[in-house]
Amino acid sequence: MRRQFHFEANAGALRTALFRFVARKRTAPVAQKRRAPHPIGKLRVAIVAPTLRWVGGQAVQADLLLRHWHGDPDVEARFFPVDPHFPHWLSWTERIPILRTLVRQPLYIASLCKGLKAVDIAHIFSASYWSFLLAPAPAWAVARLHGKKTLLNYHSGEGPDHLRKSRTARMVLSRTDTLVVPSGYLADVFEQFGLQTRVVPNIIDLSQFTYRERRPLHPHLLCTRGFHPYYAVDVVVRAFAEVQRAYPDARLDLVGKGPCEEQIRALVQELRIPNVDFMGVASRHSIGEYYDRADIFINASYLDNMPVSIIEAFACGLPVITTSPPSMRFLVDHERTGLLSGPGDARALAANVVRVLRDPALGAWLATNAFEESRQYHWTAVRQQWLSVYQELVRGNRMTAEQSPIATAGQSGAKF
* pLDDT tens-place string over residues 93-137: 878 888 888 888 999 999 999 999 999 999 999 999 888 999 999
pLDDT value of position 398: 43
Beta strands at 251-255 and 220-223: parallel, antiparallel or unpaired: parallel
The residue among 13 and 226 whose pLDDT is bigger is 226
Instruction: Please report, rounded to a whole number, the percentage of residues in the chain having pLDDT higher than 70.
Output: 85
pLDDT surpassing 90 at residue 388: yes
For domain 7-203+379-407, give the fold: Rossmann fold (3.40.50)
pLDDT surpassing 80 at residue 144: yes
Determine whether domain 206-376 maps to CATH 3.40.50.2000: yes
Quote the CA–CA distance of 66 and 52 in Å, as a whole number: 12
Give the pLDDT mean for 133-158: 95
* pLDDT tens-place string over residues 330-368: 999 999 999 999 999 999 999 999 999 999 999 999 999
Average pLDDT of every residue of the chain: 87
The residue among 296 and 156 whose pLDDT is bigger is 296
pLDDT value of position 254: 98
pLDDT surpassing 60 at residue 7: no
Does residue 101 sit in helix, strand or coil?
Answer: helix
List, in order, residues 6 or more apart from 223 with CB less than 8 Å away: 233, 236, 252, 253, 254, 255, 256, 297, 298, 299, 300
First to last CA, the chain: 17
**pTM recorded for the entire structure:** 0.83
Give the pLDDT mean for 73-86: 93
pLDDT surpassing 80 at residue 402: no
- The CATH 3.40.50.2000 domain(s) of the chain lie at 7-203+379-407, 206-376
Classify the C-alpha dihedral 210-215-218-221 as positive or negative.
Answer: positive
pLDDT surpassing 60 at residue 2: no
Backbone angles phi, psi at 40, to 5 degrees: -80, 150
pLDDT value of position 35: 52
Quote the CA–CA distance of 236 and 349 in Å, as a whole number: 8
pLDDT value of position 68: 96
* pLDDT tens-place string over residues 15-66: 455 545 544 544 444 444 455 544 447 999 999 999 887 667 899 999 999 9
